[in-house]
Structure 1
């Protein structure tokens, strides 16, 4: 693979691998034909990867600890991962028998579908919980639709794409239904104040990490004093606000260093650092390597 293809997960990069278990006949939609291990794909998931598209991944077997943006999820059999565009994903640990099925598509592929649910609401729902643990029956129903999509995608007949899109439409709503069920079950265990502030902070951080790295900014957004805001976040998860900001920025920097041929200066500019030297000092202090050393590692 070319250097610019390493470290990002896109429909194009997966299609180029020519994996026998993947159907990639359309430019903006690919689907797995059967379960496969993550090691069968040419991605080093130990490093953060930027996902350029929407993905549904179904854990068929095994376990893993997966970081999506800054949140760690325990993945097991009957788990569903929902990944939105520009999410950063990293597999921290996985069992030897981990196997997944997946669908991967661009927003353009489903842009002609008229969702009754506002797309912003969908994105916000998923952002708060990118991994669902469902029962065996519900998981089987999701896989059944996945199987129908595979069968239809393999047919060289009229209206193939239209049928695939409508099956995907059904799958999206099945997943949203599971979110609604989870929410209903959890009505008696609403977030406490600290947890609510933490969730809102993480949502803001993912939106603004490239341009805003001060405690004051996020405190102001949440209408809290910096001192109180810092205290709440520390008590909610044991880490300080600057630590969370640094981790998000470093993850994004790592992904850009591995996922593009942008120069270090261009990455520094992308992440809103004053100059490449300042970016280099910031990165080395937190990673133990210069940006160039990390890229070549």
Structure 2
């Protein structure tokens, strides 16, 4: 088996096993067999096309990509390659978000929310940063060849976080360049995310954020729902839970201290809130 076929087989196996990082580990001249039929992509995906072209469907809608373009695949997408040229050269990386979600900021996580934009999806384009993205992919590939260890695991997480920030920056620039209502709504949504990032430990009411943006609470929640699939309050609650989980996992703070951090009236109130959102108490989560 030559190196090309070996990498194809390894990638195919990684995808079917839903591994945290599924990489082509170098350039491929074809897609793996699993992606040539409808395949649910559990993580976020990148396909950098260096030569040739290919046609594909994403959530049952047809698209195409050619040399110099990057395909961005959102989480939980149904993907299928429909056609590929004989001279195809590409790099593939699909990775799970969950292992790095607790160290992401809200602005980064929001990228995966508003990549679900329904009004004007932009999944394929020439970003001008293909070479930089490939550098991240090459560094990740080198960690996959190393023996597993705590240090190796953290290095992978940090590289994935860095890559995610880069993708977020690219996607942010792309949407802001749209001279349409989508670009305007995206701008408002980004300002909302930044406000939530700053005030979520203190302010949980929609009215506060709407006032900061000089909008009505009803309009702001509707805009947030249309872009991310979540209302303003749901985004705030997700921010609190995400940070709570990080504090429970990575610090020695007790429940009262965590409750105080988020300005809850008392530890019992925080515990009830946490259990309603996650299905278990903070103590149960920490033990698990």
Gapped regions of structure 2 (runs ≥ 5): 1-5, 184-221, 223-288
Distance 2:60 2:33 in 1: 23
Equivalences for residues 1-297 of structure 1 within 5 A: 17-18=9-10, 27-39=19-31, 41-43=32-34, 45=36, 47-117=37-107, 119-120=109-110, 122-128=112-118, 129=121, 131-136=123-128, 138-156=129-147, 159-187=151-179, 189-190=180-181
Distance 1:146 1:98 in 2: 19
Gapped regions of structure 1 (runs ≥ 5): 1-13, 193-221, 223-297
Partner SS state of residue 38, structure 1: coil
- Post-superposition CA distance 1:203-230 (Å, at most 9, x none): xxxxxxxxxxxxxxxxxxx9xxxxxxxx
Change (3 A) 1:55 1:116: same
Distance 2:146 2:16 in 1: 13
The alpha-carbon deviation at position 173 of structure 1 amounts to: 1.4
Partner SS state of residue 55, structure 1: strand
The alpha-carbon deviation at position 31 of structure 1 amounts to: 1.9
Distance 1:155 1:25 in 2: 20
Contact 2:108 2:165 in 1 (8 A): no
The alpha-carbon deviation at position 104 of structure 1 amounts to: 2.0
Change (3 A) 1:21 1:112: same
Distance 2:80 2:15 in 1: 24
Partner SS state of residue 104, structure 1: strand
Partner SS state of residue 10, structure 2: coil
Contact 2:49 2:70 in 1 (8 A): yes
TM-score (norm 1): 0.50
Distance 1:108 1:15 in 2: 25
Change (3 A) 1:190 1:127: closer
